[in-house]
Structure 1
Amino acid sequence: MDISTLLAQASSKWPQAAALSEPARDRHLTFRQLDQALTAFGQALERLDVGEGERVALLADAGIDYLIADYGCMANGRVRVPLDPTLSPVELLAQLRDAGAALLLFSPQYADVAEGLRGEGIRCRALEELTVAADVDLPDRPAQPPQSLASLNYTGGTTGVPKAVMHRHASLCAVLQNIVMARGAVLGDVLLNVRPLWPIAAVAVLAHLLSGGQVVLGGRFDSKTFIDQLAQQRVAFSSLVPTQLLRLLRETGSAPADLPLFKSLDIGAAALTGEVLDGAFSLFDGRIAVLYGMTEAPWSCYLAAAQMKALRQSGESAEGVVGRSLFAAALRIDRADANGIGEILLAGPQLMAGYWQQPGLTGEVLVDGWLRSGDLGRLRADGQLEVLGRCKDIIRSGGKSVQPGEVEQALLSHAAVREAYVFGLADVEWGEQVCAAVVLEGGASASVELLVEHCRELLSRYKVPRRLWFIEELPRSHYGKVQKKRLLEVLGVVAS
């Protein structure tokens, strides 16, 4: 199967049904209009001599034009290269050159950035020039070979050599199947998107379309208006990253919202703390689902809202629980310790083909058909996966291993602590010291000595932080993960 065929089938099934809506621009497309726009986009690439297999980069915010280009690249045999607009021009240029992009398409708000890149030899065109609606019926598109490259997704931070995940049509189709089966959307269900569509979120949006659902592109997330958008657009599904969810809870509180048509909010659970999960569960009246995956293996596990509710009603917090593996996805725990904790390995057709032009790195991560996730986890007695942190974050102190998450939970159990991040720093005597950065609750006060003594009451001596800093806010990525490099710069310390 391939992306072009799946989109054509959706157009054939529901030609007049609403597919995409962008209220801010009063734009709407039916499934038939979307399919025709994708074909027209392919013809525009032909006129620009951008051939099949060539890479087309996208620098734009989430809107109908973006999705026409994103899906249009794949449906017409080109390779989508979605870029993070928050990167610096130097970082964008490095990714564009690494990809060998034949063309960069940009929306108006990034015209100045594109002009600078043009001066560095990058071929640039305004996105809207290629997304003009077709005024006549266009011929059917040919299917694409399932093993042909469909997408390059840059990941792994903004420093060092660019690292792009390669996905073929076949792997993206497996991802789409996992999402469709997990989410359970039906014809006419509305999904509100307020997230950036890079690097892989556009695929989750596509899965909703392939279920016959309508996608409302709601612009950038606004914690003041999000709940109203859900109600006004009669939304059934949406998705937030943990940073957005935290802002929403601070804005609205956790009293249940009046959303009778709402079914589920999807959240990537890796960075979801217990406090945020508690608030979200209350605000959305239990309609919270969590997913586990990464750009290299999207949507590999899923905990549906009903399963989440069952866990919570049984007295569990459900923090870190991400459900069972989806459909053809497989998982196992490698080199588990006495507590069943080890590295999470993933397998299945949803896996990436490897890293673009980096066979050595690919060989380190893909081993005998299994992806080494770099995440620590364990399989519970009920078969569900619990994610516990990153393997590389394990602190080796005095010959013993310390899991940062355990120390963070001890700190968070103090009433004055809102957030905590635990990490290791090199130490001549101990190998590494256990260190912590703490954000206090508004209006609360605490001393280093008080929190250290609190930890001594809960943890073994070697796990108690030896150094502790107070900080106003932890620097986080869009996906909610603490950016350790930035944190250490703020603290003025050197990494291990």
Structure 2
Amino acid sequence: MDISTLLSQAAHKWPERIALYEPAVHRSLSFADLDRQLTAFGLALERLNVQAGARVALLAEASINYLLADYGCMATGRVRVPLDPALSGEELLAQVRDAGAQLLLFSSHYQALAGQLRQAGVPCLALEGFAEASALPLPARAAQPAQALASLNYTGGTTGLPKAVMHRHASLCAVLQNIVMARGAVPGDVLLNVRPLWPIAAVAVLGHLLSGGQVVLGGRFEAPAFIGQLREHQAAFSSLVPTQLLRLLREAGTAAADLPSLKTLDIGAAALASEVLEGACQLFGSRLSVLYGMTEAPWSCYLNVAQMAATRAAGESAQGLVGRPVFSAALRIDQPDEQGVGEILIAGPQLMAGYWQQPELTERTLADGWLRSGDLGSIRADGLLSVQGRCKDIIRSGGKSVQPSEVEQSLRELAQVTDVHVFGLADLEWGEQVCAAVVLSEPGALSDQQLIEHCRARLSRFKVPRRIWFLNELPRSHYGKVQQNRLLAELDAGPGQ
């Protein structure tokens, strides 16, 4: 199976149904319109001599134009290369050159960034009006080989060599099957999207379309507006990352929201703090679900609404729980300790093909059909996966192992601590020191000594932070993950400091 065929099938099943709606510009496309526009997009690339297999970089906000380019590349045999607009011009240039992109398409919002890339020799064209389907009949669109490369998804990007995850049509079709089966949307269901569509979120949106659902592209996430958007568009589904959820709770509080159409709010990408999870369950009731995956293995586990509700009804904490493997995924724990905790390994057709032009890294990450996730976790007796941190984040201090999440949980018990990140720094005597970067509700609300004493009362001595920094905000990615390199640069506390 391939992306082109799936989109054509959707157009034949629901030709007149609205597939995409963008309220900001009052634009909508039916499934038939969408299919025609994708074919027209491919013809426009052909006129520019951008042939099948060529990489096309995309730099745009979440819009209909973006999705036409994203899906248009894959449906017509080109390779999508979605870029993170938050990166600097230098970082973007490194990724574009690494991909060997023949063309970059950009929206007007990122004209300045595109100008920098153009000056560096990158061919750039505006997305607006790039390909308009004429009233004349269009040629039939060919199916793509299942093993043809469909997407290069860059991860990280802050330092060092760019790293791109390769997905073929076959792996993305497996991801889409997982999404359709796990989410359970039906024709006519509305999904409100307020997330950037790179690097893989556009595929999650496509999964909803392939269920016959409508996608409302609601623009950038704005906490004061989100509940109103859900209500206005009668959304059955939406998705937030933990950072957005935290902002929403600060804005809206935890009083139950009146959202009669909402079925499921998916949360993913980073660990949910217990207080954020509790607040979200109060705000949205029994409509919260958690997904687990990564760019290398999207949508591999899902804790659905019923499982979340059952866990809470049993009086258990759902913190760290990410559900059971979805339809085509498999899990196992590598080298578990006495508590059953080890590295999470993932298998299944949804796995990446490898890292672009990095065979050694691919070989270290993929072994005998299993992907080393880099995450620590355990599988409970009921089959639910519990994620408990990152392998590389373990701090080795004085010959003992410290889980940063355990120290973070202790610090979060203090009401004045609104955000925290625990990490290790090289130390001649101890190997590594346990360190913490803390955000307080008000400057000076607590001293570092008060935080240390709090930890001493709850943790083993070797787990207590030896150094604490106070920040106004932690540098996090859109997905809620702390950007360690940028944090260390801000603290002037790099390796060896």
Which TM-score tier does this pair reach, normalised by the shorter chain?
over 0.9
Measure the CA separation in 2 of the matches of 1:204 and 1:298.
Answer: 9
After superposition, the Cα gap between the structure-2 partners of 1:47 and 1:162, relative to the gap in structure 1 and judged at 3 Å, is same
Q: Kindly provide the CA deviation profile for residues 203-227 of structure 1, in whole angstroms up to 9, marking residues without a partner as x.
A: 0000000000000011111111111
Aligned letter for 1:142? A
**SS state of the match for residue 248, structure 2?**
helix
Measure the CA separation in 2 of the matches of 1:146 and 1:79.
Answer: 13
Q: Partner residue of 1:221?
A: 221
After superposition, the Cα gap between the structure-2 partners of 1:467 and 1:116, relative to the gap in structure 1 and judged at 3 Å, is closer
Shift of 1:317: 2.3
In 2, are the aligned partners of 1:193 and 1:218 still within 8 Å (CA)? yes
Shift of 1:471: 2.2
Shift of 1:444: 7.7
Measure the CA separation in 2 of the matches of 1:449 and 1:259.
Answer: 45
**1:462 lines up with 2:462 in the alignment:** yes
In 1, are the aligned partners of 2:269 and 2:479 still within 8 Å (CA)? no
Shift of 1:187: 0.6
In 1, are the aligned partners of 2:269 and 2:293 still within 8 Å (CA)? no
After superposition, the Cα gap between the structure-2 partners of 1:124 and 1:380, relative to the gap in structure 1 and judged at 3 Å, is same
**1:81 lines up with 2:78 in the alignment:** no
Q: Partner residue of 2:356?
A: 356
Q: Kindly provide the CA deviation profile for residues 275-302 of structure 1, in whole angstroms up to 9, marking residues without a partner as x.
A: 1111111111121111100000000000
Alignment of 1:393-408 (within 5 A): 393-408=393-408
- Identity percentage of aligned residues: 71
Shift of 1:375: 0.7
Measure the CA separation in 2 of the matches of 1:120 and 1:269.
Answer: 33
**SS state of the match for residue 322, structure 2?**
coil
**SS state of the match for residue 271, structure 1?**
coil
After superposition, the Cα gap between the structure-2 partners of 1:11 and 1:293, relative to the gap in structure 1 and judged at 3 Å, is same
What is the aligned length? 496
In 2, are the aligned partners of 1:269 and 1:322 still within 8 Å (CA)? no
CA-based RMSD: 1.3
Q: Partner residue of 1:275?
A: 275
Q: Kindly provide the CA deviation profile for residues 122-147 of structure 1, in whole angstroms up to 9, marking residues without a partner as x.
A: 11111123232332332321110000
Normalising by the residue count of structure 1, what TM-score does the alignment of the two structures yield? 0.98
Alignment of 1:119-268 (within 5 A): 119-268=119-268
Displaced runs of 4 or more, over 6 A? none
Q: Kindly provide the CA deviation profile for residues 24-73 of structure 1, in whole angstroms up to 9, marking residues without a partner as x.
A: 11111110010011111111111111000001111111111111110010
Gapped regions of structure 2 (runs ≥ 5): none
- My pick for the range that moved more, 238-247 or 447-456, is 447-456
Measure the CA separation in 2 of the matches of 1:414 and 1:117.
Answer: 46
Measure the CA separation in 1 of the matches of 2:470 and 2:100.
Answer: 44
**1:471 lines up with 2:471 in the alignment:** yes
Aligned letter for 2:299? W
Alignment of 1:6-45 (within 5 A): 6-45=6-45
**SS state of the match for residue 230, structure 1?**
helix
Aligned letter for 2:377? G
Measure the CA separation in 1 of the matches of 2:119 and 2:466.
Answer: 51
Q: Kindly provide the CA deviation profile for residues 1-46 of structure 1, in whole angstroms up to 9, marking residues without a partner as x.
A: 0000000000010111110001111111110010011111111111
Q: Kindly provide the CA deviation profile for residues 434-468 of structure 1, in whole angstroms up to 9, marking residues without a partner as x.
A: 11122223488222222222212211111111222
**1:71 lines up with 2:65 in the alignment:** no
Q: Partner residue of 1:58?
A: 58
Shift of 1:490: 2.4
Shift of 1:329: 0.5
In 2, are the aligned partners of 1:269 and 1:320 still within 8 Å (CA)? no
**SS state of the match for residue 101, structure 1?**
coil
Shift of 1:200: 0.3
After superposition, the Cα gap between the structure-2 partners of 1:5 and 1:494, relative to the gap in structure 1 and judged at 3 Å, is same
Q: Kindly provide the CA deviation profile for residues 236-260 of structure 1, in whole angstroms up to 9, marking residues without a partner as x.
A: 0001111111111111111111100
In 2, are the aligned partners of 1:65 and 1:131 still within 8 Å (CA)? no
Measure the CA separation in 1 of the matches of 2:456 and 2:114.
Answer: 54
Q: Partner residue of 1:306?
A: 306
Q: Partner residue of 1:109?
A: 109
Measure the CA separation in 1 of the matches of 2:439 and 2:112.
Answer: 37
Gapped regions of structure 1 (runs ≥ 5): none
Measure the CA separation in 2 of the matches of 1:115 and 1:425.
Answer: 39
